[in-house]
Structure 1
Amino acid sequence: MIIKLIGDRSGISRSQVEKVITLFNEGATIPFIARYRKEHTGSLDEVQISTIQSEYKKLQDLIKRRESILKSIEEQGELTAQLKSTINDCWDEKKLEDLYLPFKRKTQTKAAIARKAGYEGLAKIIMSQKSDNIKEQARRFGKVEEAIEGAQHIISEWVSENPSVRDIIRNTFSRKAMLYAKMAKGMEEKGEKFKDYFDFQGYLNKTPSHRLLAVLRGEQEGILKVKVDVDFEDVMDRICRYYIKRNSDAVPYLEDAIQDALKRLILPSIRNEVLKDAKEKADDEAIRVFTRNAAELLLSAPLGSKRILGIDPGFRSGCKVVCLDDSGNLLYNTAIYPHPPQSQIAAAEEVILKLAKKYKIEAVAIGNGTAGRETYQWLRKTSLNDSAEIFLVNEDGASIYSASEVAREEFPDKDLTVRGSVSIARRLMDPLAELVKIDPKSIGVGQYQHDVNQKKLKESLTETVESCVNKVGINVNTASKHLLSYVSGLGPTLASNIIDYRTSKGKIDSIESLKEVPRLGDKAFEQCAGFLRVKEGRNPLDNTGVHPEVYGLVRKMVKDTGKTISQVIANEEVLKSIDLNKYTTAEIGLPTLNDILKELSKPGLDPRESAKPREFTEGLESISDLRSGQVVSGIVTNLTKFGAFLDIGIKESALLHISQIVDRYISDPAEVLSINQELQVKVLEVDESRKRISVTAKGL
């Protein structure tokens, strides 16, 4: 049943689902399954495999909850064969909880007190709607008014615990629920950023995820009062029609009980449930957008192994300067003061030029925060611009890294400013290798990452980082512990063990030798081997994405060409002559064989492009320089559901609204834009007081 449900929910065939679950149960990771088990899965991609994993976990959790519910009801002596069958056949979390609702251990409720007083019989008479004189019936149970009120409390509980009633109400909420937001008293000034929601209402199911999260953030900060509701009379009418089957004296009493059930017992919990569900959906959407942006940033173009001068710029406190060798090791650090109030421009230039000459600097990385543009513009005017490429580098999270345990381990004797400068320089060299050391929430590509479910966000981000690391392939001899920990099958402990092994044995000269690493067993080796690279090792295949499990097949393919592996690698003519159909087996098909040829044609290929310096509009130094209609250069720094934020070379980012991206309808800016994409835009509006810039890309 689990296989069928996952298949139905994901749109993936049952046989594919079954094979993926089998691989998961054998200890396989998502990157490994996607890359090296294509014949098993029918070439499912990482997103599809992740979906199967997520649905499988949800259903396993539901089964555990179901077992707990059955045990609880059985202990109460209330578990009938019919109820057990109904619960075992239930695969919906909410319906399962509805079935359990009557059996939940409750505190002393109004209905419980009424039962104790003996009014349940009267409640059944009212529910049957057969009596034409309820007050007369009530006299048999004691004081008339007390008996009727007690009976109604019991009926209210029955109504509230009826799964069909809750279904009707949920259905009404799903179609008709309205989201209301109003400003909390006295919050006009403090809540300026939420003023768009001071008197907001709209259908909940049509409220975009970013808007819902903004409203809920306003509520969290005490700025807004928020509620979700439906038309009460509509719900009341639906439930009355469900219960009332004939005209009798019982009807008014039944209607009162239904009204009480709705107002006191059902609607408060359903409102909370509906808002919680909407928040979960908004969280999922925000997490999807954030992880997509994070992936694009993690896979930003690296400059590669170059000797780099890194600068963490500042005004009063000066610019912190570091020089790194082509492996990212710190050679020297100092500080210069080219900006006000010191304005030691000549002295600063002299220091920079001497360092560039002494350490043979090939590129300069300048943090794009405070004083970043000013430092960039100043250095572009010096002779350093002739000998080294100058880059503005996104420094989001560098300060968090500099105060982290990771940074203290790397540079125990250096202060935070030096560590931050090193991080900026290394980001230019290899963004992925440096950014994995920082909490992904801090890398500057989100909007509501602090408002969403943190556990779910962490899981998604970890999966995203793992995907990026394994997509690139990692040099086992130069990778840091943090980078290695994200390699399929490894984790922090094995990553540390590899570093220790590397330190004690020297350079690792083959993938096979990793089997000597303590605690790195056969399963871990299977999962990690294809994603690690050994450059200039004993076996040229170790610098490719070919998995060691098929080395024997590759040797046979190469032998049949009459050449050696070294002669075949990167030899397009020979590789094209290989008839792959001759080498297919029950386990290895054309998808894997095509991947092998692709790896042999370009061994050690980094799928990322190479970093290039970015050009901004000349003469643009602050928001006051902007004019409506002006065309400027921009770089996409963040994508949201409602648009993109661009770095246009000044302190403030420009907003490119989704409606201003292209001349056709798009539902998501990511359909046409990506992080770090360069484009020309035209200024629509500048609001200097609120530091807001609106731009358009239409017609350019």
Structure 2
Amino acid sequence: MNQDIIKQTAALLKIKVTQVENVLSLLEEGATVPFIARYRKEKTGGLNEDQIREISQVYEYSVNLLKRKEDVIRLIDEKGMMTAQLKADIMKAEKLSEVEDYYRPYKEKKKTRATMAKAKGLEPLAQAIMKLPRHGDLKLLATPYLNEEVPTIEDALAGASDIIAEDIADSAKYRQRAKEEILNYGKIVTKVKKNAKDEKHTYEKYYDYSESVKRIANHRVLAINRAEKEKVISVSFDYDESFILGYILRGLMGNKQTIADEFIRNATLDAYKRLIAPSIEREIRSDLTEKAEDASLQVFSVNLEHLLMQPPMKGQVVLGLDPAFRTGCKLAVMDPTGKFLAKDKVFITIPKKSYAEDEKKLLQLITRYHVSLIAIGNGTASRESEAFVAKLIKNHHLDVKYVIVSEAGASVYSASPLAKEEFPDFQVEERSAVSIGRRLQDPLAELVKIEPKAISVGQYQHDMNQKKLGEQLDFVVEKVVNQVGVNINTASPSLLQYVSGLSKTTAKNIVAYREEHGAFTSREEIMQVSKLGPKSYEQSVGFLRIINGHNIFDETSIHPDNYQDAAKLLDYIGLTKAELGTKKMAEALADFNIQKACEDLALDHYLVEDLVSAFISPQRTPRDDYAAPVLKSNVLTIEDLKPGMKLQGTVRNVVDFGAFVDIGLHEDGLVHISKMSKKRIKHPLDVVAVGDVVDVWVLDADVKKQRVSLTMVEM
């Protein structure tokens, strides 16, 4: 490990050097991020998963940056052109793009106008001109360079100009100054294209638009990119080119008088217009996009984490309803464990004389299987289905509630090999009905079956770097799964594969072992699973729960490595394993002096804190802190809304400019960032998250456009 980079990483992330060293050492030893975050707190100083991953990423980038710096210095040195100042400049560079700027003049080039001019022997002419002669004539200066390949004076001077232009364009100093000028003082400008196709006027805002490059919001960068990609608008930059040209000319000529004054000015203009500006503008667009994507990715990550953390609806028999018009609504009933019980189909969203047969089918399913909750997908025909269900509940005085459930990714899952394996004889829509019902019963267990980027809880995810998106969202899923923990006797391979230390193969092997030998009764038994070695066992076992097994510690997040410490702490408290999770335990630990216990038992502070938490609530998970879905029994229409009306809703999505809240209408209402708080806030995530149940007031309800504006500031 590079100590200088470790120190830089620690300084950048505002943490201790020892924390960085310990995290990197643990990662090198094969420890996973969740394992380090949960079971090596004493070494990391209690760093969380995101901080641990950031250490790894920052260190890796810095190592690659240093390697590239060393390569560039070596390559330039091999040409005999390295200077002390150039080496110092390269070593000070903080980005790979800066290193490449310094290397540009020394890089072997492909065929360019300048390389062709050099091949014709015109480089000495260019050098002679750049000595800024005060007397003489440029034409006479060029005459000695005429030959078969350079037949005229004009050809010679044109070639020399090309060489000078490329030299100017290769200068890191000029490129960086131009970039700074555009970033600090330039504007990004968009214009609608002739014959542009934007039937819904999605990008109308950008038909004639400009904004400071320095201040443009990330979501607008992504919107502009998409509009440009769809050939609706053109994008350019507006800035003071004359200032940049003046800076370059001062650098080339200072205040000297020369017979080549106009010639050099023209070469500089060519260098800027043809070579520097297009390259720099592409670079700035790329930097803006990368910054916007990273910000959008962060929003997506937080949204996904909150969605996955939604608490399960325990002990409920659920009827999943996948809405549709012409093809009918598919129904699927699941018992409280998610086991499929029955399926059917009703046509409740299309106009017809009688719905008696459909009512009969629904009532039979509800009464026969004691359905207590109906999960209605929020896709096409959702609100028509909701209206029918609400009326059915009211007319028949049913003790049943319903919930509108996000269908995001349900169709992706339903057509996947995994869904076909689970339900080979089902139609796609029938599998979707099962998924909708199960994601209400246990969102995490069901949503892990879907590719994370198919779960639409972000902005512009399809426009992002898909590799980076996939890696980040997989990390979020892994993080949540391990924070929550997994019941090894009920979990699917889809869920188990995200457990720290497990793979798709070992996840399948756990299920195969379970099917052959019955339920696991102890964590020790997990070691019998095929291809699950000692390292995998160490990394995974603390996140695998065994409910009602031989040892109550196996139900908790306590790692087997700490069972002896846990027993020692129980003796210290004067209680037994049998009293875990009881009122007596909670009372005994209400005013417990953790610091004294650490000293008396020679145990780490983080470990004792975690043990105490597990003793009080053995099966507690972070999901217990999240709001449960809003259960409903009646329907709301946009015509019912009046300005000032107070409603309760569930946050479905958070984006840079606000949050979309499900208040029971076909389309979610928008709370703009300016309407989230009386105080100024930097980002909607500072106030709300996906899954939050919030009070909102109606600002405006546009019946024609089916749009609702909401506020979270009491009216």
Question: Which interval holds the TM-score relative to the shorter structure?
Answer: over 0.9
Summarize the Cα distance change of 1:585–1:486 in structure 2 as closer, same or farther, 3 Å threshold: farther
Alpha-carbon offset, residue 643 of structure 1: 0.8
Partner of 2:301: 291
Pair 1:418-2:430 in alignment: yes
Choose from 658, 662, 668 the match for 2:683: 668
Partner of 2:95: 92
Once residues 573 and 699 of structure 2 are traced to their aligned partners in structure 1, the CA distance between those partners, rounded to angstroms, is 63
Alpha-carbon offset, residue 12 of structure 1: 2.5
Once residues 699 and 629 of structure 1 are traced to their aligned partners in structure 2, the CA distance between those partners, rounded to angstroms, is 9
Residue aligned with 2:157, SS: helix
| 1:617/1:648 contact within 8 Å kept | no
| 1:568/1:574 contact within 8 Å kept | no
Partner of 1:184: 193
Summarize the Cα distance change of 1:71–1:480 in structure 2 as closer, same or farther, 3 Å threshold: farther
Once residues 534 and 206 of structure 1 are traced to their aligned partners in structure 2, the CA distance between those partners, rounded to angstroms, is 53
Residue aligned with 2:699, SS: strand
Alpha-carbon offset, residue 96 of structure 1: 1.4
Once residues 188 and 373 of structure 1 are traced to their aligned partners in structure 2, the CA distance between those partners, rounded to angstroms, is 31
Choose from 385, 395, 409 the match for 2:421: 409
Partner of 1:620: 636
Pair 1:200-2:209 in alignment: yes
Alpha-carbon offset, residue 499 of structure 1: 1.3
Pair 1:341-2:351 in alignment: yes
Matches within 5 A, 1:44-63: 44-63=47-66
Choose from 424, 428, 438 the match for 2:450: 438
Pair 1:682-2:697 in alignment: yes
Summarize the Cα distance change of 1:110–1:316 in structure 2 as closer, same or farther, 3 Å threshold: closer
Summarize the Cα distance change of 1:283–1:385 in structure 2 as closer, same or farther, 3 Å threshold: farther
452-461 or 633-642: bigger deviation: 633-642
Matches within 5 A, 1:496-575: 496-570=508-582, 571-575=585-589
User: Structure 1 length normalisation: TM-score?
Assistant: 0.93
Residue aligned with 2:325, SS: coil
Once residues 382 and 438 of structure 2 are traced to their aligned partners in structure 1, the CA distance between those partners, rounded to angstroms, is 17
Structure 1, unmatched stretches of 5+, are none
Alpha-carbon offset, residue 574 of structure 1: 3.7
State the AA in 2 paired with 1:158: D
Residue aligned with 1:683, SS: strand
Summarize the Cα distance change of 1:378–1:424 in structure 2 as closer, same or farther, 3 Å threshold: same
Once residues 448 and 69 of structure 1 are traced to their aligned partners in structure 2, the CA distance between those partners, rounded to angstroms, is 36
Residue aligned with 1:608, SS: helix
Alpha-carbon offset, residue 189 of structure 1: 5.0
Pair 1:327-2:337 in alignment: yes
| 2:330/2:346 contact within 8 Å kept | yes
Alpha-carbon offset, residue 359 of structure 1: 2.0
125-134 or 640-649: bigger deviation: 125-134
Partner of 2:171: 162
1:539-597, Cα deviation, whole Å (9 max, x unpaired) = 11111111111112112222344543223554123445575544469995212211111
Partner of 2:607: 592
Once residues 271 and 586 of structure 1 are traced to their aligned partners in structure 2, the CA distance between those partners, rounded to angstroms, is 63
Once residues 343 and 291 of structure 1 are traced to their aligned partners in structure 2, the CA distance between those partners, rounded to angstroms, is 48
Choose from 283, 298, 316 the match for 1:306: 316
Summarize the Cα distance change of 1:234–1:629 in structure 2 as closer, same or farther, 3 Å threshold: same
1:75-97, Cα deviation, whole Å (9 max, x unpaired) = x7557585777656655311211
| 1:122/1:141 contact within 8 Å kept | yes
263-272 or 548-557: bigger deviation: 548-557
Once residues 450 and 580 of structure 2 are traced to their aligned partners in structure 1, the CA distance between those partners, rounded to angstroms, is 40
Choose from 442, 446, 461 the match for 1:449: 461
1:201-238, Cα deviation, whole Å (9 max, x unpaired) = 11122111111111110011111111235321111011
Partner of 1:379: 389
Summarize the Cα distance change of 1:437–1:39 in structure 2 as closer, same or farther, 3 Å threshold: same
Once residues 310 and 617 of structure 1 are traced to their aligned partners in structure 2, the CA distance between those partners, rounded to angstroms, is 16
Alpha-carbon offset, residue 72 of structure 1: 5.8
Once residues 128 and 485 of structure 1 are traced to their aligned partners in structure 2, the CA distance between those partners, rounded to angstroms, is 68
Residue aligned with 2:145, SS: coil
Pair 1:359-2:369 in alignment: yes
| 1:228/1:275 contact within 8 Å kept | no
Question: CA RMSD for the aligned pairs?
Answer: 2.6
| 2:218/2:291 contact within 8 Å kept | yes
63-72 or 670-679: bigger deviation: 63-72
| 1:617/1:633 contact within 8 Å kept | no
Once residues 201 and 240 of structure 2 are traced to their aligned partners in structure 1, the CA distance between those partners, rounded to angstroms, is 31
State the AA in 2 paired with 1:153: D
Give percent identity, aligned residues only.
38
Summarize the Cα distance change of 1:367–1:184 in structure 2 as closer, same or farther, 3 Å threshold: same
Once residues 681 and 53 of structure 1 are traced to their aligned partners in structure 2, the CA distance between those partners, rounded to angstroms, is 41
Partner of 2:40: 37
Once residues 114 and 688 of structure 2 are traced to their aligned partners in structure 1, the CA distance between those partners, rounded to angstroms, is 59
Summarize the Cα distance change of 1:370–1:147 in structure 2 as closer, same or farther, 3 Å threshold: closer
| 2:580/2:617 contact within 8 Å kept | no
Choose from 155, 176, 194 the match for 1:146: 155
Once residues 599 and 106 of structure 2 are traced to their aligned partners in structure 1, the CA distance between those partners, rounded to angstroms, is 59
Partner of 1:637: 652
Alpha-carbon offset, residue 400 of structure 1: 1.7
Once residues 374 and 617 of structure 1 are traced to their aligned partners in structure 2, the CA distance between those partners, rounded to angstroms, is 14
Once residues 649 and 389 of structure 1 are traced to their aligned partners in structure 2, the CA distance between those partners, rounded to angstroms, is 14
Partner of 2:707: 692
Partner of 2:149: none
Alpha-carbon offset, residue 375 of structure 1: 3.0
| 1:337/1:344 contact within 8 Å kept | no
Once residues 619 and 322 of structure 1 are traced to their aligned partners in structure 2, the CA distance between those partners, rounded to angstroms, is 22
Residue aligned with 2:54, SS: helix
1:254-296, Cα deviation, whole Å (9 max, x unpaired) = 2222222111111111110110010000000111111111111
State the AA in 1 paired with 2:287: D
Partner of 1:102: 105
Alpha-carbon offset, residue 469 of structure 1: 0.8
Once residues 485 and 247 of structure 1 are traced to their aligned partners in structure 2, the CA distance between those partners, rounded to angstroms, is 71
| 1:481/1:492 contact within 8 Å kept | yes
| 1:302/1:611 contact within 8 Å kept | no
Pair 1:648-2:663 in alignment: yes
Pair 1:132-2:135 in alignment: yes
| 2:489/2:519 contact within 8 Å kept | yes
Once residues 365 and 649 of structure 2 are traced to their aligned partners in structure 1, the CA distance between those partners, rounded to angstroms, is 31
Summarize the Cα distance change of 1:66–1:555 in structure 2 as closer, same or farther, 3 Å threshold: same
Summarize the Cα distance change of 1:399–1:685 in structure 2 as closer, same or farther, 3 Å threshold: same
504-513 or 9-18: bigger deviation: 9-18
Partner of 2:497: 485
Once residues 671 and 619 of structure 1 are traced to their aligned partners in structure 2, the CA distance between those partners, rounded to angstroms, is 31
1:352-408, Cα deviation, whole Å (9 max, x unpaired) = 232233223332222232333333343334456643333222222212211111110
1:129-156, Cα deviation, whole Å (9 max, x unpaired) = 2443352433343454333332222221
Structure 2, unmatched stretches of 5+, are 147-151
Partner of 1:469: 481
Choose from 619, 644, 653 the match for 1:604: 619
Once residues 696 and 340 of structure 2 are traced to their aligned partners in structure 1, the CA distance between those partners, rounded to angstroms, is 39
Once residues 101 and 310 of structure 2 are traced to their aligned partners in structure 1, the CA distance between those partners, rounded to angstroms, is 48
| 1:616/1:649 contact within 8 Å kept | no
Residue aligned with 2:444, SS: helix
Residue aligned with 1:486, SS: coil
Alpha-carbon offset, residue 443 of structure 1: 2.2
State the AA in 2 paired with 1:379: V
Once residues 485 and 126 of structure 1 are traced to their aligned partners in structure 2, the CA distance between those partners, rounded to angstroms, is 68
State the AA in 2 paired with 1:572: A
Summarize the Cα distance change of 1:117–1:321 in structure 2 as closer, same or farther, 3 Å threshold: closer
